[in-house]
Structures are given as structure tokens and as C-alpha cells.
Amino acid sequence: MTHQIIIAGFGGQGIMLMGQLLAYAGMLEGKNVSWLPSYGPEMRGGTANCNVIISDEPVASPIVTEATAVMVMNRPSLDRFEGAVMRGGLLLVNSSLIDKKASRDDIEVCYIPANEIADQLGNSRVANMVMLGSYIAKTGAVSPAFVIESLRKALGPSKEHFITLNEEALKRGAECVKECVRR
Amino acid sequence: MSKVLMKGNEAIAEAAIQAGCRYFFGYPITPQNEIPAYMAKRLPEVGGCFIQAESEVSAINMVYGAAGAGARVMTSSSSPGISLKQEGLSYIAGAELPCVVVNMVRGGPGLGGIQPAQSDYFQATKGGGHGDYHLVVLAPSTIQEAVDLVMEGFDIADQYRNPVMILGDGMLGQMMEPVEFRPLSSKRELPLKTWATTGYTGDRPRNIINSLFIDPQALEEHVKRIYQKYEEIKKNEVKVECYNCEDAEIIVAAYGTTARIVKSVIQKAKREGINVGLIRPITLWPFPTSTFEEWAQREHVKAFMSVEMSMGQMVEDVRLSVNGRKPVYFYGRTGGMVPEPNAILSEIKKVIGGVSR
């Protein structure tokens, strides 16, 4: 099994971190992984995206051209990456910030109100973790426990108190996809 | 030791430190900035020295100095910065000093762009600066391979007293993969650095680090001796990977990250019933000429195609090696554009259609 993932959104939404957590968790599970960021003159508020591959096989090209799943956190990302989902693949749309519906009917689309859920949790910055929770629940690409372990490493001991919040965000994201329907 | 997830640039820097590199002199440029940043943080922890020089020219001359004193030393840059280092590299090669230089190539010419490219192949493999000389050029395809080659690169540099270049690209520098820092599988007998200028105390002849030979006869002798060394390097140090070449109708030549994309293409082609092979030079200099010669003689190989992130540079060495035995084609993107698997595959199909007719 090979998960070929594209994550895209605004700089500052935690796009790169989402990808790194996925890659890290995949590595902890003993999979072959790669993480490739876009690295143009990116800045907060600009666009950011990354490609993640989690595979049982060694990773050949780290570039994802036909994605098994795409997560889009803002409107320009939907326009740009909807076409990159492979036929039968998964598209996760942050419906809090994207008022448009996806136009393809040969893929599965889930609308996740990531920012609204994050706000309910009291911190809009965990919207990325909500989205990640949805993705993991939907695909089983990695286990949530390994994502939390990865986050622990990424945040360091000084930010240990954020772990519970992030765990909650993953969980709420996972609950969202229960209602997701195949189009 | 367990694996860690690291950016290519950071992994290269850590590999250098684990290989005993204690001096790093550099000047910032995208997409390799994580190397000096990592070195600035790590070198003081291990008793080393990091200096951000005022320019690439001074950075490479600091490398010249530290290498002359017998230290393990490294610098890194990306294409425009590497151009600035060429004078120093020529001096270092002329003075026969070991060092490691990393080039995380970006699109050119000029300031170009910051996206990945392979358009510095000529500069890296044909000398780059003035005079008769070569760098040993290592082209990793994965971050693990980058780590291993950096470590071995320091040994190669010391063994032959010659600068070694790690030729990557922006993609390899920026991406993350799991890596393991492991001891080298091959242990080399490294010569003592008796030539190093470590301070004269009277217990050995005076050492002079020099690349100036006013007498042309002396200079010719000096260069010829360096070239004897190059023959040794050609004999001992060629590294190459052959992938799926048995029964291949067409063999693609690609190195570095492009070779990874080609591997994806090969798997794709296989599903369509097309047998494509890959020869991936790991050392770009010395070039794996004999590997190409061997496969060019096989009946089942109809053609070769070099795929590069350039307008066609390595293809010249492929042509020299294949030496007219089979046709050699080229496909490339440049300026920071990365060749797409589908585009490569359709080029392959075009070539196969042409040669089997």
C-alpha cells in the first residue's frame, strides 16, 4: 500500500507540520516515508503545500502527481489541487474557509469544518490537527497514537501541555468523517 | 542506531560532523541554508568552528586554509555561490588539498531561480575553475545516500588529497526522509597528513602549501602527477546503480533526484508492458563509462536516453561512453522545472516507436 498525499493551504496554517507529523508517524510504524515541501518565496499568508508518501515499498519519486488523498485548507488550494486526486481517491476540504463545492464526481469528497471545530476547542490553530484526524480516520494511513508521539517530539517538553488539545482535535476530526458520504 | 526523520540539508551537515568535520565556512543562499544553520548550532558543541564569511570567495579560501592545516573542512552553497568558489576550488585542487564542497543546485544561468536543477553538471564534472583538474563528484539520490556519501567523501578527499563535491539539488536539500547515521562499510587506510602546515618545530621538513609553479616543466610534472592520481580514482572509486536493466529495451541514464522520478516511471512502464532500465551514476566524476559500454553491447538494448533537469549535460558523457553503439536520446526540463513521470514515459514511448520501426 502506498499513500500519496498532498496537503495545501495558507502559510501559517500548519501545513508543513501536518505533513511532517504524517511522515514521522509513518516512520515510527516502520514504513518508508518522504516529505517534500514547496519552497518558493513562501511566507505567512502565502500558499504552502507539501507532498507526503507513506509506503511499504522504498519511495521512488518523492513528488506526488497522482494523489491517493489531497487535503485542502483554503480556497486557492482546492482550485489548484482538486485535479491532482487520482480517480477514486480522497479529497478533504476545509469547509470553514472554502465555500465552494468540489466539482469532480469520480472521487470521494469530505467537507470538514476544521476551523469551526478548532474554535470550539478554544484554539483556532489546531484546525490542521482536526483535518489530520479526519484523514487518518478515513484512510488508516497511520495510527493516531504515532501522530501524537511525533507531535510530542516536534513540540518538545516545554509544550507538553498542548498535547491534550491536539489529541482532542484529532478525535473531533475523526468523528467528522463518519458523516462523510461518497458523492 | 534508530532512524531519524531529517531534512536533506540537515542530514548532510550532521553526516559531516560525524565524519569528523570540525570547520565550516559558508555564505547563505537558498536552497541550502539549513546546512550552515545546522553547522552554526552544532559545530561549537563539538569543539569546532563555524564562520559565516563575508562572501563565497572568502569562505572557500578559509576552506583552503583549514584544509592546508590538515583539518576536515566543508563548505556548501548553491549554484551562483558555487560559481564564486571556483577560483578557490582550482587552487585547492592545484595544491592537492582534501575538502568537501556541497552544491545544492538551483536553476541557472545567472542568479536563475531557487527551484531544483541539474544544470551545474558541466561545472562540477569538467573542473569548473581554470586549469587541468577534476573534483570527485558524488550525486546522492536519497537522503540516506547523501549521508553515506558525505561520510565517505571525507575519506576519499583525504585518501587522494583532492576536493570532493556532493552534487545535490534543492529538492534533496529540502525534503525529509528517515536516515540512519551508521559507520562506513568500507574502512580505508588513510595516509597521515604529513604535508599539513601545522607549525614548524624542526622535527620535520618545512611544509609549503602551494599551487604556483613558474617553471612550465615543473608545472607539467605536477599536473601529470595529479592525473596519475585521477587514474587511480577512476580505477577505484566509480559507483553506479543499474536498475531493471536486464531485458530492458531502452536504458535511461539519470542521477540524483531525477533518477528517483525515473524509477517511478519504470514501475509505471512495467505495468504497461514496457521494459525500461536505469543506469544511475552515483559518481558523476569518475563517470561509470564501462557500465554504459557493457549495456550498449547487449542485443536487447535498442537505445539510451538521458533524463536530466538541464538542457542536456550528462548526455554528452553518455554519448562518449555509448560511443555510437546505440542511439542516445535526451529529455530534460530546466530552470527549476521538474520532469513529470508521464512526460518522461511518453518520450520513452516515442523513442521505442522510433528505434523498433
The pLDDT assigned to A183 comes to 46
Share of chain B above pLDDT 70, in %: 99
The CA distances from residue A83 to A91, A134, B85, B297, in Å, are 10, 21, 43, 43
Residue A14 sits in a domain of what CATH number?
A: 3.40.920.10
Region of B256 on the Ramachandran plot (φ > 0 left; ψ -120 to 50 alpha; else beta): left
| CA B341 centroid distance within chain | 24
CA angle B239, B241, B244 (to 5 degrees): 165
Yes or no, beta carbons of B264 and A61 under 8 Å apart: yes
Chain B nearest-CA distance from A176, in A, is 30
Domain with A171 in it: 2-179
Chain A nearest-CA distance from B168, in A, is 15
Q: Tell me the longest C-alpha to C-alpha distance in chain B.
A: 75
Yes or no, beta carbons of B260 and A60 under 8 Å apart: yes
The pLDDT assigned to B2 comes to 84
Yes or no, beta carbons of A61 and B5 under 8 Å apart: no
The CA distances from residue A65 to A48, A69, B252, B265, B348, in Å, are 16, 11, 21, 12, 19
Yes or no, beta carbons of B30 and A40 under 8 Å apart: no
Query: B247-282 b/e with 16+ CB inside 10 Å = b?
Result: ebbbbbbbbbbbbbbbbbbbebbeeeebbbbbbbbb
pLDDT digits (tens, 9 = 90+) for B328-357: 999 999 999 999 999 999 999 999 987 764
Chain B nearest-CA distance from A153, in A, is 11
Residue B114 reports pLDDT greater than 80: yes
Q: Mean per-residue pLDDT for B54-82? A: 98
User: CA torsion sign, A117 to A122 to A128 to A129?
Assistant: negative
- Is the pTM higher than 0.80? yes
Yes or no, beta carbons of B171 and A62 under 8 Å apart: yes
The pLDDT assigned to A181 comes to 58
| CA A2 centroid distance within chain | 16
Q: How many domains does chain A have?
A: 1
Yes or no, beta carbons of A34 and B176 under 8 Å apart: yes
The CA distances from residue B173 to A52, A97, B66, B144, B147, in Å, are 16, 32, 25, 12, 12
The pLDDT assigned to A137 comes to 96
The pLDDT assigned to B186 comes to 78
- Chain A segment 67-126 residues within 8 A of B by beta carbon are none
The CA distances from residue B239 to A40, B165, B279, B281, B291, in Å, are 33, 14, 11, 7, 10
- Chain A segment 5-34 residues within 8 A of B by beta carbon are 20, 23-24, 27, 32-34
pLDDT digits (tens, 9 = 90+) for B195-229: 999 999 999 999 999 999 999 999 999 999 999 99
Region of B163 on the Ramachandran plot (φ > 0 left; ψ -120 to 50 alpha; else beta): beta
Tell me the ipTM for this assembly.
Answer: 0.94
Chain B nearest-CA distance from A87, in A, is 16
Phi then psi for residue A142, to 5 deg, are: -140, 165
Q: Which residues of chain A have pLDDT under 70?
A: 42-44, 181-183
Task: For residue B258, give the chain A residue with the closest CA.
Answer: A61
Residue B136 reports pLDDT greater than 90: yes
Contacts of A27 in chain B (CB under 8 A): 3, 5, 178
pLDDT digits (tens, 9 = 90+) for A15-34: 999 999 999 999 999 999 99
Q: Mean per-residue pLDDT for B223-239? A: 98
E-strand stretches of chain A: 2-10, 32-37, 47-55, 67-72, 85-94, 108-112
Residue B115 reports pLDDT greater than 50: yes
Contacts of A145 (CB under 8 A, 6+ apart): none
CA distance B233 to B156: 9
CA distance B340 to B261: 8
Residue B230 reports pLDDT greater than 60: yes
Task: For residue B338, give the chain A residue with the closest CA.
Answer: A63
Mean of per-residue pLDDT scores for chain B:
97
Instruction: Confirm if B302 and B249 have CB atoms less than 8 A apart.
Output: yes
Chain B nearest-CA distance from A44, in A, is 18
Please tell me which residue, B357 or B24, carries the higher pLDDT value: B24
Yes or no, beta carbons of A27 and B178 under 8 Å apart: yes
* 8-state DSSP, B116: B
CA distance B305 to B285: 19
The pLDDT assigned to B187 comes to 86
Go through the domains of chain B in sequence order and give each one's CATH number. Answer: 4-236 (3.40.50.970), 241-355 (3.40.50.920)
Instruction: Confirm if B171 and B161 have CB atoms less than 8 A apart.
Output: no
Cα Rg of chain B, angstroms: 21
Contacts of A84 in chain B (CB under 8 A): none
- Chain B segment 49-108 residues within 8 A of A by beta carbon are none
Chain A nearest-CA distance from B273, in A, is 19
Yes or no, beta carbons of B174 and A60 under 8 Å apart: no
The pLDDT assigned to A42 comes to 65
Kindly report which listed range (A141-145, A156-160, B97-101, B239-243) carries the lowest average pLDDT score: A156-160
Sheet holding B49-52, edge to edge: B49-52, B23-26, B73-77, B99-105, B163-169, B136-138, B283-285
Count of CB pairs separated by less than 8 Å, A with B: 57
CA distance B354 to B350: 6
Task: For residue B170, give the chain A residue with the closest CA.
Answer: A39
β pairing state of B176-179 and B4-7: antiparallel
Cα torsion through B177, B182, B187, B193, rounded to 10: 90
What DSSP element (H or E) covers B36? helix B34-42
